[in-house]
Structure 1
């Protein structure tokens, strides 16, 4: 079974343009994400998929593999789906370029979940973690997820879901971590599906699977990491990044 990691690396981020080439420790954000993914030894190949020659040059300089893509895609999964046509793989893991803290345990859980699904009951896996900072529940930059009793995603939202009408004190909310594992066929289908009204409204790519009746198996993890979405995120990430890296 061939397993590859694909790291979508768009330069012109809406909220923080050029963030992937900002310094994190002794390297750039995209280098740290690539190296952390590569060092897990979980993948037969690791690719960075980008529209930017500077990102290409940066990754190539450390021996990484790069696939150039066009500039405009709706999301990172569209970018990957477009780029993998010539690649043979059974499982593809989408590691966001702005997730430099990604760890081996979390990535392994995505892969093993797909490997162990002998009946192909689902074709997509993703991660969620319990929200401990109540401010995140109302923060639109924190994507929330609700699941059924078998941990399949029911919906993702930037709003506080579920709404607690009777102010239940003990109730867990979960943050969606936008890292996905896919079977090859489903990933190729993704870019053929039109954007539905829910995805357009929320701007969350995982909703496209739900709108097209594809199950997403959610895996609970303790991984928190720091997604580099804003300058404040980058400053915080640098404050906790190992000084020798």
Structure 2
């Protein structure tokens, strides 16, 4: 399978300007994500082209210094999905799968990206995303965070064939007493698309559910595009996103406690299980 991994990396984050180049334990965030993407591709026999999509000359220059491929995109683009579609159009290629790996996904294990690539081999899959089964402890933490007013953390419920039924910022399914054996799946914000699905998706209007939850993947479900959910194992590691400098410090503490994901960050590193 021929995959294109796009890493959207904007400079102008309102909460954390310059975030892609912020150091995480001495290694710039974007360098970490690029190396993780390359490790995932290498684990599948070297399949996959990794491209950084940016709107800023500073990020493009940094990518060039890494030896990474970068594509300049319009600063007016709204989100990572649209940026991935812009890269697809600019490159003029037709990969089997386009993967959107966010530029702040520094704690995404390469085996999770590889699992997405594997699921994309199924010709029936039009769009695919991973989710991790939550432990009782992780679910308790998320429940407490939601009760305290935090918005972060998306869960998903699936049909028997693995396709998503719904994604929500609320914890779903609601489990009555005696239903504790029903798993809760935490969604991981990583997507794979068939090129034609990606092109169709960015042309569709936002629907009421996407607007209500502020979850762009709901646009696909509202318009009848199925999303395959592949369950992944984080192998005891913690999922965490970086939206602020406080998040970055928390991320560094997690790496200190759980260890690095790769043995090198020059694009030739191997995963540490």
* TM-score > 0.5, shorter chain as reference: yes
Q: What's the CA shift for 1:231?
A: 2.3
The equivalent residue for 1:87 is 92
Match of 2:173 among 159, 162, 180: 162
Is 1:230 equivalent to 2:244 in the alignment? yes
CA–CA separation in structure 2 for the residues paired with 1:183 and 1:208: 16
SS at match of 1:71: coil
For structure 2, which runs of at least 5 residues remain unmatched after alignment?
266-273
For residue 215 of structure 1, what is the aligned residue in structure 2?
A: 226
Partner of 2:132: 129
Match of 1:29 in 2: 29
Distance in 2 between residues matched to 1:177 and 1:211, nearest whole Å:
20
Number of residue equivalences: 242
For 2:16 and 2:170, locate their aligned partners in 1 and report how far apart those are by CA, in whole Å: 22
- The structure richer in helix per residue is 2
Give the TM-score of the pair, scaled to structure 2.
Answer: 0.81
Distance 1:11 1:202, change over 3 A: farther
Q: Aligned to 2:219, what secondary structure does the other structure show?
A: helix
Give the TM-score, by structure 1 length. Answer: 0.90
- Structure 2 residue corresponding to 1:182, chosen from 193, 210, 235: 193
Specify the SS of the correspondent of 2:85.
Answer: helix
Counterpart mapping for 1:82-121 below 5 A: 82-85=86-89, 86-88=91-93, 89-115=95-121, 117-118=122-123, 120=124
Match of 2:67 among 63, 73, 89: 63
Measure the CA separation in 1 of the matches of 2:129 and 2:96: 17
For the residues of structure 2 that align with 1:91 and 1:75, how far apart are their CA atoms?
Answer: 19
Is there any run of 5+ residues in structure 1 with no aligned partner, and where?
none
What's the CA shift for 1:131?
A: 2.3
Q: Does residue 75 of structure 1 match 2:86?
A: no
How far the C-alpha of 1:37 sits from its partner, in A, is 0.9
Report if the CA contact (8 A) 1:99-1:225 is conserved: no
Per-residue deviation, residues 1-27 of structure 1 (Å, max 9, x unmatched): 421110111222344333222111222
Q: Distance in 1 between matches of 2:127 and 2:15?
A: 27
